[in-house]
Structure 1
Amino acid sequence: MIVKIQKSFAQQVGTLYLVPTPIGNLEDMTFRAVKTLQTVDLIASEDTRNTQKLLNHFEVKVPQKSLHEHNYNERIPELLDFLESGKSIAQVSDAGMPSISDPGHELVVACIEKDIPVVSLPGATAGMTALIASGLLPQPFFFYGFLQRKRSVQKKELDELKGQSATLIFYESPHRIKETLKNILEVFGNREVVICRELTKLYEEYLRGTAEELIEYLSEHSLKGECCLLVSGATETAEEEIFTGTLKEQVEEMISGGTSSKEAIKSVAKRHGLKKQDVYKEYHEL
């Protein structure tokens, strides 16, 4: 393997700048980010209509081209030709850092293969912003992003993550977060959880509690705005905490947290390596 060395600011071709945009509050835009957008030759945007609002606010007159998950195969060769001609591009997503649960990675890889410099600017990203104010251990952390929507697939993902001792960071829709928490409770047990919504905006809010407590809260309240979901990592005592009480008491505890009796019985049976029928009989005192 030959090591490839990039001299970011000593090149003859154009440069791809990865420019973070605010995740809510426009005042989080950095001076360098604004200057970069003003001085490049083209802006590659996830959604040109959304980005135009940002450009208008900071009086940026540079033209845009869309670059998103549906057109990157056709668009990337065009952008590479543009960069190889000596011109520069700023890539932005709708909010936060490009490539972090957003488009961007494919263009970065294509530029590296062509020896085109890629320069990343520091800036806002929801996961880190929420983590340091969550109260959960900030390091180590494991950023996962969005979980799959289908319940069976999501539970499989969570099962692969349950042994992680690092604080886990997910992004989730407010409409799906209650069901995701139920899956987390079933797979991980009753861990400490923090939901952060509307980051950097007027109605920013942190909800802290156990998985069961937050499920109960969400049974009576609805959330708005994209959510950052943080879950404490696995600990040596976690298993002991999960398995306290009789089988009947464990099932009742999960039901009180919003889990259906069927799912609670299934989860408790899995904890102890028992048949569901055995836990069912214990719960119903048959």
Structure 2
Amino acid sequence: MEPQEGRLFVVGTPIGNLDDLSPRAAAAFEVADAVCCEDTRVTSKLLAHLGLSRSLVRCDENVIAARAPQLVDRMLAGEVLAYASDAGMPGVSDPGQVLVDAARSAGVPVEVIPGPTACITALVATGISCEHFFFEGFLPRKHGERVRRLRRLAAIPGALLFYESPHRAEDSLAAIAEVFPERDAALCRELTKLHEEVLRASSPELLQIVRERGEMRGEMVLVVAPPSEAELERHEAALAAGGAANADVNPDDLLAADIAEALAAGESANAIAKRLSQKYSRKKRDVYALVLEAQGASA
């Protein structure tokens, strides 16, 4: 790659296995006057792997907005800068998009060097249908907010992808099992590394597996299977009946529909109450009373 005046290289880097670094990525680092990055320690190891030594500029989420103007000035003055996240594609759950936006707004040429992406690697590895998918990034930290967000995503007709840290994986899976108890889910960790692992089961079963294993190491991707046709029809019916903006607005209709469907399938009242009380964050005895009421009405 020939040196080029005044531009920004946005460089995709390996998510684990350094052999996944592309020749174009290596060439971009070689011609760069400086490398902007989230963590200088991580990027210095990557450059050392290539036998390169470059000036590093820390550009994590805390400082990138403040540093972007001076970095743009450097590129306008003729410097070539490269930006790399700690792993994967910059801009995907990563602060690099701030620098890209600033460069483009100033007329600085931006060239993206594609590389691995953890969310897509995980989706393919799970075997879950990937014809349609939605990348959410990180879920909220508080349980109630996680559940509300997941319910808002329930009507999306595709797989759901989430990034998660090891110490929060169990909590996120608990929320997923509560909102999507009938869907398969998968936990992918250490992707492309020696101890790569993909765990897939129904969401309640996966939660139990993770609880029994205890905290696991490595950054993780959680994948939730798409909704069934029956689930989508329930959401559409709720929207049509209530004129709501989303299925989360009128959960009583969804609960009643779920109870009717479960009774028709021959599920016991106690099992229905246990499962749906978790799904809708209701007291089990209250849901049990609704199940008995529905049984009486259909008798």
The TM tier, using the shorter chain, reads: 0.7 to 0.9
Q: Provide the rounded CA distance (Å) in 1 between the counterparts of 2:142 and 2:280.
A: 22
- Tell me whether 1:162 sits opposite 2:154 in the alignment: yes
Q: Verify the 8 A CA contact 1:83 1:89 in the aligned structure 2.
A: yes
1:174 Cα deviation (Å)?
A: 2.1
What CA deviation, in whole Å up to 9, does each residue of 1:173-229 have, x standing for no partner?
A: 222222212211222232111111100111001101100111121221122211110
Q: Distance in 2 between matches of 1:249 and 1:228?
A: 30
User: Distance in 2 between the 1:146 and 1:34 partners?
Assistant: 29
CA shift in 2, pair 1:268/1:74, >3 Å: closer
- Residues in 1 aligned to 2:161 and 2:196: alpha-carbon distance in whole angstroms: 18
Q: 1:200 to 1:269 in 2, by over 3 A?
A: closer
Q: Secondary structure at the match of 2:167?
A: coil
Letter of the 2:83 partner, please give it: Q
**Contact 1:13–1:116 at 8 Å: present in 2 too?**
no
* Equivalent of residue 16 in structure 2, options 21, 24, 41: 24
C-alpha separation in 2, matches of 1:69 and 1:268: 35
CA deviation vs aligned residue, 1:97-152 (integer Å, no higher than 9, x gap): 11111120111111111111111111111011111121111121111111111111
- Matched residue type, 2:287: V
Structure 2 match to 1:278: 286
Instruction: Report percent identity of matched pairs.
Output: 40
Give the counterpart of 1:235 among 228, 240, 254. 228
Per the alignment, residue 95 of structure 2 pairs with 103
Equivalences, count: 260
Who is 2:119 aligned against?
127
Instruction: Give, in whole Å, the separation in 2 of the partners of 1:134 and 1:104.
Output: 28
What is the aligned partner in structure 2 of residue 40 from structure 1? 32
What residue identity is the alignment partner of 1:44? C
Matches for 1:137-152 after TM superposition, within 5 Å:
137-152=129-144
CA RMSD of aligned residues (A): 2.4
Structure 1 residues 134 and 267, CA, compared in 2 at 3 Å: closer, same or farther?
Answer: closer
Query: Equivalent residue of 1:123, what SS?
Result: coil
Q: Tell me the equivalent position of 1:219.
A: 211
Higher helix share: 2
- Aligned counterpart, 2:240: none
In structure 2, stretches of 5+ residues that fail to align are 235-256, 293-299
Residues 273 and 285 in structure 2, CA contact (< 8 A), matched pair in contact too: no
State whether structure 2 residue 266 is matched by structure 1 residue 251.
no
CA distance in structure 2 between the aligned counterparts of 1:102 and 1:119, rounded to whole angstroms = 17
- Structure 1 spans left out of the alignment, 5+ residues: 1-8, 255-263
